[in-house]
Structure 1
Amino acid sequence: MSQQAILQEAALIRSDAEALEVAHQLAAEFAVEAGVRDRERRLPWAELARYSASGLGGITVPREFGGAGVSLLTLSQVFRILCAADPSLGQIPQNHFAVLELFPLLATPAQLRFIYSEVLSGRRLGNAGPEKGKQPMQQLSTRLSREADGLYLSGQRFYSTGALFADWIPTRARDESGLTVQVLVPRHAPGVEVIDDWSSFGQRTTASGTVRFDRVRVEEALLLPVWQLADRPNLTGPISQLIQASIDAGIAEAALRDAILFVREHARPWLDSGVSRASDDPYVIQAVGRLQIDLHAALEVLDDAARTLDRLRTGEVTDAISAEASIAVAEAKVLTTEIALQASEKLFELAGSAATRARHQLDRHWRNARVHTLHDPVRWKYHAIGNYSLNGVFPARHQWN
């Protein structure tokens, strides 16, 4: 499908239940060739067109602006459902929803009407991630310069999940005063170059590569003053992290599902087991039971974190509320990280050497889990949780907390 494919008119999803129903329908479609797309690194243009036409991209738009205004619990479950089918495809909208959380905090009424209209029509927001190089994640060399005839953006970013497929690319830059702003850039504006140089061994079709901005003309009306959030408690970081944990949960569900299926249908019992089916091997039964418990625990903590965020966002967000939200999601992130890695690794031990054959494509679960769980180091989640519980120290407030 052409990268310039005409966007279908998006359907309008009106409730949480409808959002989940649509997610299940799309997941059934996306799962069919997920392994083929991974093996061939076939970018999911057609699948994303289906996603956009379904209306899922607009489910968090508030009801007063014509959207469904779904809960964060529903948003988390939508990501889980899609990522259990194809986590590369399911990850692509992560920044779309994370960026949308900034608008109610910072946008003017006109900006809100514009972005919500775009999203409800099926337009996709991508991402231009951290600066390329070894500098700290939050260091910005991307600049927004004011010249006689307007504003111009220049810089280079990486980890730009979704940018290749986007209609709009949000990115952060320093303005002429040194303040951090969020800039919304049309994907095909002159001076924008999206380079498909993502070569990871996992999450292979997210196209999370490089974006270059070479004196890109920027409209003043498409700027958000994100510098105002530096000293203002908010839930944008925890919500972004909730999405990341949901992606890992989907990977874990897929890995355990395929492990059980392979053991039932293909694996041979070990000769010392004395049983005729691998599924009757007592050690296999015990291991599957352990994985099922750990997955159930991770999903319950993830859902609890989502409900916590839904509760906390209804009132004033203080420093203490922001910290509570970050810790709730950090606990979920630890468990979803661990079960995604455990289930995708244990799969081979339970299923045997036959499961490693390329035609089964079961290695993609571990590759996806290993790559995506590196998004932000889980060791710092342990630190945040321990320091909060032991010393009452609030975690740092940024998009990775």
Structure 2
Amino acid sequence: MNIAVSASTLQQTGTPQGVAGPARPSQPAHVIRDDAEAIRVAHALAAEFREGASERDRAHIRPLKELDAFSQSGLWSINVPRSFGGPEVSYRTLAQVIAIISAADPSIGQIAQNHLGIVAAIRTVSDQEQQALLFGEVLKGTRFGNAFSERGTKRAADFETKFSDHGDHVIVTGQKFYATGALLAHLVPIVAVDDQGRAWYAIADRNAPGLTVIDDWSAFGQRGTASGTVIIDNVRVEKSHLVPAWKGYEAPRSDGAIFQIIQAAVDAGIGRAALDDTIAFVRTKSRPWIDSGQERASDDPYTIQAIGDLTIRQHAAEALLDRAGLAIDAAIAEPSGESVAAAQLAVAESKVLTTEVAIAATNKLFELAGTRSTLAEDNLDRHWRNARTHTLHDPVRWKYAIVGNHALNGVNPPFHAWS
């Protein structure tokens, strides 16, 4: 099945073209037993995904085969509650899983982000009947994409996509961009507002009439996410698939922190991959500088110092990611204003360090590895392109402000989907 339209095709025709969605899985997905199995499966998949990651980036290949393996492995249902047949692993483990996968291919790690976030939101806001229906889909191997963000609105939280009530269903109309995962999803949650301005997830079938997913993502990084345009033209969504997203922010809940920690985990994975590739290149391909007096580039004292610095910062970022996962787990177990704020703050700290080490490691790679590392044959610039693109999702300068304002003035973080 042809599941991608290249940017060049779009430019040649001048007409945006929709792309058909993937087939539903023919067999139910595996169900992970516990946290330890989730980590083992993530490492096994990462070893497979790493093999073709550079070529997929170079050729703009969409990772359909890899996503099928990923979702069928059971890792896309790891936060489904046990009461509905899911593994309900800790968010500490979930963040580790995303970091492991993202070190192999951060586009694949990012595609899972909104799916896992939607699963968390369904647990928070849906009634038991809707939870049983939608969690059942996830356990079968169904993938959620996303049609959340819009281009052209004044702020990220402003939505022009709306729906009208038609009894047992709603009709949704609007246009989205940055729609990570929609291209290769089975169901597409659309953020749409009702006549009171409240946001809902209207979960449409990927091939529903009026729903057009266009593969026009042209960013220089995270190419495999295909985070392009979704056009929603009078799309019918049954009320059974209309999820009241707004309820997740009526009272202290961890939905925003969960979306955010997965973003931080992607960046932690990018930083890890860049550092590992730097070390491998310096050991095997780089030449020592003429004034070093060394036979090997890996014995250059300045290189050793720089690798030590990056290693410490990467470990610190991973430790804060771990700490943030524990804080989310505590807030889910006993939700309160203070426990949720503690989770938000821990995730904000993690987001700062994972962003900074991803940018630092992907940039330092070339300084330490030398001119040869810039050759197209190794495609090492993909690490920097991925880091620079992905870390723009929400500005870390505001994470510093959140943490500082709490430390100095006792002000809790703002309560919304980006915090």
Structure 1 residue 145, shift from structure 2 partner: 1.0
For the residue of structure 2 that corresponds to 1:183, the secondary structure is strand
Report if the CA contact (8 A) 2:248-2:255 is conserved.
no
- Which one of 321, 325, 329 corresponds to residue 302 of structure 1? 321
The answer as to 2:127 corresponding to 1:108 is: yes
1:214-244 per-residue CA deviation (whole Å, 9 max, x = no partner) reads 0011111211222333431110011111100
CA shift for structure 1 position 325: 1.0
Cα distance in 1, alignment partners of residues 111 and 330 from structure 2 = 27
Residue 395 in structure 1 maps to residue 399 in structure 2: no
Aligned counterpart in structure 2 of residue 333 of structure 1, from 332, 340, 351: 351
Deviations 1:334-377 (A, max 9, x none): 00000000000000000000000000111000000000010100
1:191 aligned onto 2:172: no
SS at match of 2:61: coil
Displacement of 1:146 in angstroms is 2.4
Q: Is the 8 A contact 1:146 1:176 kept in 2?
A: no
Report how far residue 2 of structure 1 moved: 4.9
Cα deviation 1:93-126 (Å, max 9, x = unaligned): 1000011111122112111111111001100001
Question: Given the superposition, is the C-alpha separation of residues 128 and 110 from structure 1 closer, same or farther in structure 2, using an over 3 Å criterion?
Answer: same
1:117-132 alignment, distance < 5 Å: 117-132=136-151
Match of 2:402 among 381, 384, 394: 384
CA RMSD of aligned residues (A): 1.3
Deviation at 1:282, TM superposition (A): 0.5
Instruction: Kindly indicate whether the alpha-carbon contact (under 8 Å) linking 1:197 and 1:210 is maintained by their aligned counterparts in 2.
Output: yes
* Aligned CA distance change for structure 1 residues 273 and 125 (closer, same or farther; 3 Å): same
Counterparts of 1:305 and 1:391, CA distance in 2: 22
1:362 matched residue in structure 2: 380
1:176 aligned residue? 195
Separation in 1 of the partners of 2:208 and 2:192? 17
Q: Which residue of 2 aligns with 1:264?
A: 283
Which moves more between the two structures, 175-184 or 204-213?
175-184
Correspondence for 1:63: 82
Query: Distance in 2 between the 1:6 and 1:319 partners?
Result: 40
TM-score by length of 1: 0.97
**What amino acid is aligned across from residue 49 of structure 1 in structure 2?**
D
What stretches of structure 2 of length at least 5 have no aligned partner?
4-21
Q: Tell me how far apart the structure 1 counterparts of residues 104 and 289 of structure 2 sit (CA, whole Å).
A: 31
Amino acid at match of 1:202: G
Correspondence for 1:200: 219
Matched, 1:292 2:278: no
Within a 5 Å distance, the mapping from 1:2-401 to structure 2 comes to 2-3=2-3, 4-9=22-27, 10-147=29-166, 150-315=169-334, 317-401=335-419
Q: Match of 2:412, SS?
A: coil
Q: 1:2 to 1:65 in 2, by over 3 A?
A: farther
Deviation per residue, 1:133-163 (Å, 9 max, x gap):
1421111111111247852100001111001
CA distance in 2, matches of 1:101, 1:322: 14
Contact 1:93 1:162 in 2 (8 A): yes
Is the alpha carbon distance of 1:182 and 1:148 closer, same or farther for their aligned partners in structure 2, counting shifts above 3 Å? Answer: closer
1:249-303 Cα offsets, whole Å, 9 max, x none, are: 0000000000000000000000000001000000000100010111111111110
Q: Which runs of 4+ in 1 moved over 4 A?
A: 147-150
The structural deviation recorded for 1:56 is 1.2
Deviates more, 1:196-205 or 1:131-140: 131-140
For residues 390 and 189 of structure 2, the distance between their equivalents in structure 1, rounded to whole angstroms, comes to: 21
Whole-angstrom distance in 1 between the partners of 2:202 and 2:233: 14
CA distance in 2, matches of 1:178, 1:338: 36
Q: How big is the shift at 1:8? A: 3.9
Q: Which amino acid aligns with 1:142?
A: T
Query: Structure 1 residues 100, 150: closer, same or farther in 2, change over 3 A?
Result: closer
SS in 2 for 1:359: coil
Structure 2: how far apart are the matches of 1:178 and 1:275?
A: 66
Q: Aligned partners of 1:79, 1:142: CA distance in 2, in Å? A: 30
Deviations, residues 173-225 of structure 1 (Å, cap 9, x unaligned): 11133332221111111110011111000001101111111001111121122
Q: Distance in 2 between matches of 1:250 and 1:149?
A: 43
Residue aligned with 1:214, SS: strand
CA distance change for structure 1 residues 320 and 21 in 2, over 3 Å: closer, same or farther? same
The answer to whether the 8 Å contact 1:143/1:154 transfers is yes
Number of equivalences: 400
Higher mean alpha-carbon deviation, 19-28 vs 174-183, is at 174-183
Tell me, yes or no, if the aligned pair for 1:8 and 1:49 is still in contact at 8 Å: no
Give the Cα separation in 1 of the matches to 2:225 and 2:248.
Answer: 29
Unaligned runs of 5+ in 1: none
Q: Does the 8 Å contact 2:268/2:358 carry over to 1?
A: yes
